[in-house]
Amino acid sequence: MESLFFDSLFSLLEGETDTIANMANTAALLYETLQDVNWVGFYRMKDNELLLGPFMGKVACVHLPLNKGVCAHAATTKKTIRVDDVHQFATHIACDSATNSEIVVPLMKEGKVLGVLDIDSPLLNRFNEQDEKNLKRVVEILLPHIESV
């Protein structure tokens, strides 16, 4: 991701206080910028599960339990998870059968998980260390612009 991307993200978020609008624009900007992705979006922590939030891509699973899937693993461990081949991830939840790799970054404030940023790709091994670093930066920039989700 280039500085132009981050400049655009700052511009989209500047002065906007609505959580859903900020998550939606962040998902759209990522979807339009990243290559070889088929889904970009957010799941929000609600009532002890992950609930679908703003996204770009095909229709998605609405409710994700916290004991199954890549998103749940990232949320419960509070760590970014990169999966090179989702078919090898024992509890992967296949919302789109075209997805082959995935990266999930938890959204955390004061140690509390508010949700996750989830990005899927039809390619195996799509996400690398630099992608992880950039997406963590995206979340850092977004967090001050969202309230509880």
Record the tokens describing residue 10, joined without a space: 């700052």
- E strands along 4-148, which residues? 39-46, 49-57, 63-64, 81-83, 101-109, 112-121
pLDDT at residue 125 above 90? yes
Given a contact cutoff of 8 angstroms between Cβ atoms, the answer to whether 50 and 74 are in contact is no
Range of the domain at 85: 3-145
How many structural domains are present in the chain?
A: 1
Q: What does the pLDDT read at residue 136?
A: 97
Given a contact cutoff of 8 angstroms between Cβ atoms, the answer to whether 75 and 107 are in contact is no
pLDDT at residue 120 above 80? yes
Segment 2-56, tens digit of pLDDT: 889 999 999 999 999 999 999 999 999 999 999 999 999 999 999 999 999 999 9
Q: What does the pLDDT read at residue 149?
A: 63
Record the tokens describing residue 139, joined without a space: 């979340």
Segment 44-77, tens digit of pLDDT: 999 999 999 999 999 999 999 999 999 999 999 9
| Cα distance between residue 47 and residue 88, in whole Å | 29
pLDDT, average across residues 128-139: 97
Q: What does the pLDDT read at residue 98?
A: 84
Q: How many CB atoms lie within 10 A of CB 50?
A: 26
Q: How far is CA 138 from CA 45, 64, 74, 95, in A?
A: 19, 23, 16, 24
Q: What does the pLDDT read at residue 124?
A: 97
- CATH number of domain containing 107: 3.30.450.40
Q: How far is CA 48 from CA 51, 65, 76, in A?
A: 9, 8, 11
